[in-house]
Amino acid sequence: MDLNQIFFLDNKIQEYEWGSYTAIQELLDKREDGGGGGDDVKPIAELWMGAHHKSPSDVIISSGNISLKELIDRFPKEILGSIAAEKFHNNLPYLFKVLAVENPLSIQAHPDITQAKKGFLDENSKKIAIESSKRSFKDDNHKPECICALTEFWALNGFRPVKEISKYIDQLSCKKLNKIVTEIKSLPDSLFIKSFFMKIMDFNEADKKEVVDDVVMQSKLYSKNDSVFNWILKLHEKYPCDIGVLSPVYLNLICLKPGDALFIKSRVLHAYLKGVGIELMANSDNVLRGGLTPKHVDINRLIEILDFNPLKVELLNTCDINKYQKDYVSYAEEFKLSVILPVNDKDGFNFKTKSVEIILCIKGSSKVVNIETGQITDIKKGDSIIIPAAVKQYSMYGDAVLYKASVR
């Protein structure tokens, strides 16, 4: 099979209750119900581009579609490139997504590589089925990730400094929370945060209800002037009995503007609250949840993997690679996220490939030319293509805005 060519991808969608009835549908030009969400129409939360065993993309070829995972298994060096194939054991190391967050996702964290391997083996030994709702470790990989906003995007990321946590709890005037803070105030920061988190997660149902009721009542007094309290109220609307409504008090609340990107390290507690974004991560589906969800919560395992140090939230810097491409400076060896802006040069602009690339068009249209063979691929909004490592160089011209995933 000739791999020196550019291929279109047919990608899998994930329908979760927190998704949108319009965002990914509009991107793919697949509006079915006018955006209202009828009885037979489910919200679409994620579009997956990659080779994860759960939902691998299909590669569109003349003889019929073939799974990207299968194609990589057959031709690892031609698709991934020799260096990436050897380094990542003939696997595509990243998973590329579009996220459409209409309602808050669960509070969650992802294990580091050592924790993932240990947890995966442990759950295998207990014979917990991979598809079981009780399963936390779906594979043995870690899951560092970055999120890049396409719209205004609200998120929680990492624990706040202790002074901020204490300040917000003082404003909430909740007796049970104030008592906890008084008892642990002399602890070092990471131990303070760990103790606070464990104590609120250990509330019985009666205490939980009392605390949530108190917090919601007080939040109404401050919600117009502080988004922390406003988000407490929004979370309470969706999860009225969940202690996770407190999360904006102890986690950093951030609003990304379109084009802003955030890196989520392994072991960091976080949640995506609202917005549409591009997500790029190591090729894993390991999630340990800590609230705002009807799904399985293994609090003991979550506490085992969490980093309880306060986190200073910083946006990812961008680096101009050329006049059309910007890279987001990431910390993961598995992936790199780039944005390609409209290429206005008459003769196009040349890009060199070092490894496999997946490109998604989110706006406009463009022509992508395999320089060696002359193959021309026309892409438009919603299209995604894979450029194997066998394609050494390609050019591009048009008015498209594209996001590109590649190996760092």
Catalytic residue annotation: 289
Cβ atoms of 356 and 59 closer than 8 Å: no
Cβ atoms of 260 and 81 closer than 8 Å: no
CA-based end-to-end distance of the chain: 27
Give the single-character DSSP code of 131: T
> Mind giving me the DSSP string for 210-225?
HHHHHHHHHHHHHTTT
* Rg (the chain; Cα; Å): 23
CA pair distance 311, 313, nearest whole angstrom: 6
225: number of Cβ within 10 Å: 9
105: number of Cβ within 10 Å: 22
- Cβ within 8 Å of residue 188, ≥6 positions away: none
- CB burial string 138-158: b at 16+ within 10 A, e below: bbbbbbbbbbbbbeebbbbbb
Cβ atoms of 258 and 152 closer than 8 Å: yes
